[in-house]
Amino acid sequence: MSTPNEPLLLQALARKPTPRPPVWLMRQAGRYMAEYQALRAQAGGFLEMATNAAYAAEVTLQPVRRFDVDAAILFSDILLPLQAMGMDLRFDPGRGPVLPRPLRDAASIDGLRAVSPHKHLPYVGEALRLVRAELDRDKALLGFAGAPFTLAAYAVEGGAPGAGMNLRALMYRHTAVFENLMGKLAEVVTSHLRYQVECGAQAVVLFDTWAGQLARDDFMDFVAPWNEQILKSLQGLAPRMVFVRDGGHIMDDVVAWKPDAVALDWRIPIGAAFDRWGDDVAIQGNLDPAVLLSTPEDVNARARRLLDAVGGRPGHVLSLGHGVLKATDPECVAAFVAAAKEAGNGAAGNGAAGNG
């Protein structure tokens, strides 16, 4: 049973019947919003904004105020733990993250420092506390981290991984060195997520953006044990969601880790996903972010079609299959959110309201 003012998102993650599906979007705070751009200019850059608690908190709250989404996800970056471990990190205009001294050998990996989030990432905790103080109690506050393989991809490639050839070479040719790196990263990710829960995050998301490039056997050998270890260490602390982009071929294995929820990219039909996994986990997703480049009317219609495919089954969180694109019109985000709100008026129920 739900409790008064319990955030709708937390009810859905527990697979409770809800009057409508909760809705939020990956990268909902970001470059497509004029207020974000203004604050970034004031801060002096992305990294300056992400590592300043007051700026990060304000950016986190911007989409909640503008679109009335059901969750605020901390404005941060998955690579900040790498910086905390001693890696140089910068964000170049038009290029994105750059790590100018990539990890390519045992010595560089051995040189990574152990991280205490309270000491090395204090702005994360302070931003969460600031957001929680202002956020309405019926809105959920989410924390997140990059999974070890995805962090390793950036750390070894020195930036956006692309095909990840250096990482794969390390993984196949120097497996012990690769395993050492993954162990260090798993430890940091675990402590980072625990810290976020301590500071007010009510659920956490583990993003493994690049692991879906691997064949299933390699995923099971080189990635799965670390992700499963992280999830087990967080069991009972807060609901845990996992997102693996391009992960359709390994989703059975991800569900077998027993997270509370899985987030799907747009390539997986959501009705079939509920048929297969809906009795085991909550499911988030999964409209193609590029659909939001169309018109508000089309966005709303496509979102309603997705809700029809879910059929009002409990445990659904309406979201995109990846992050909001920079060129997105904010009115299209509003139309997407409106589809979830309209579902509570009999358009498409979600458990408690039935199927209309």
* pLDDT tens-place string over residues 234-274: 999 999 999 999 999 999 999 999 999 999 999 999 999 99
The pLDDT score that the predictor gives to residue 1 is 46
Reported as a pLDDT band with limits 50, 70 and 90, residue 3 is low
Q: Are 142 and 203 in contact (CB under 8 A)?
A: yes
Asked, for residue 351, whether it belongs to a domain, the answer is no
Q: Do the domain assignments include residue 226?
A: yes
Residue carrying structure tokens 């905790």? 125
- pLDDT score at 344: 76
In the predicted model, what is the mean pLDDT of residues 7-15?
98
Q: Is 129 a catalytic residue?
A: no
d(CA 190, CA 194): 6
Question: Alpha carbon of 46 to those of 91, 117, 141, 322, 338: distances in Å?
Answer: 7, 20, 21, 20, 29
Instruction: Specify if 355 maps to a domain.
Output: no
Active-site position among 40, 168, 240, 313:
40
Domain hosting 200: range is 8-346
Residue 355, pLDDT > 50, answer: no
Contact 45, 292 (CB under 8 A): no
pLDDT at 93: 83
DSSP 323: P
pTM of this prediction? 0.94
Q: Are 255 and 277 in contact (CB under 8 A)?
A: yes
- pLDDT at residue 185, as a whole number: 98
Domain presence at residue 38? yes
User: How many structural domains does the chain have?
Assistant: 1
Q: What is the pLDDT of residue 352?
A: 37
Q: What is the mean pLDDT of residues 201-226?
A: 98
pLDDT of 351: 46
At CB < 8 A and 24+ separation, what contacts does 246-253 make? Answer: 246/212, 246/213, 247/208, 247/211, 247/212, 248/212, 249/212, 249/216, 250/211, 250/212, 250/216, 250/219, 250/220, 251/277, 252/276, 253/216, 253/219, 253/220, 253/224
pLDDT digits (tens, 9 = 90+) for 274-309: 999 999 999 999 999 999 999 999 999 999 999 999
pLDDT at 300: 98
The catalytic residue among 70, 77, 260, 265 is 77
CATH number, domain with residue 107:
3.20.20.210
Would you tell me how many other CB atoms lie within 10 Å of the CB of residue 111?
13
Looking at the predicted structure, is the pLDDT value of residue 356 above 80? no
Q: What is the pLDDT of residue 4?
A: 61
> Is position 189 within any domain?
yes
Query: Is 154 annotated in the active site?
Result: yes
On the question of pLDDT at 333 being above 90, the answer is yes
Q: What angle do CA 17, 19, 25 make, to 5 degrees?
A: 95
Q: Which of 25-34, 39-48, 57-66, 90-99 has the lowest mean pLDDT?
A: 90-99
Active site residue: 32, 55, 123, 154, which one?
154
52 contacts: CB under 8 Å, gap ≥ 6 = 43, 123
The residue-averaged pLDDT of 306-325 equals 98
Known catalytic membership, residue 305: no
Q: What does the pLDDT average to over 318-343?
A: 97
Does some domain include residue 354?
no
Per-residue tokens: 215: 């064949």
Residues in the chain, how many? 356
Question: 307 lies in a domain?
Answer: yes
**Which residues is 97 bridged to in the sheet?**
91
Q: Is residue 356 one of the residues assigned to a domain?
A: no
Average pLDDT over residues 19-36: 97
Give the E-state strand segments of the chain in sequence order: 71-73, 90-92, 96-98, 140-146, 203-208, 240-244, 261-263, 282-287, 316-320
Q: What is the mean pLDDT of the chain?
A: 95
- Statement: residue 95 has pLDDT above 50: yes
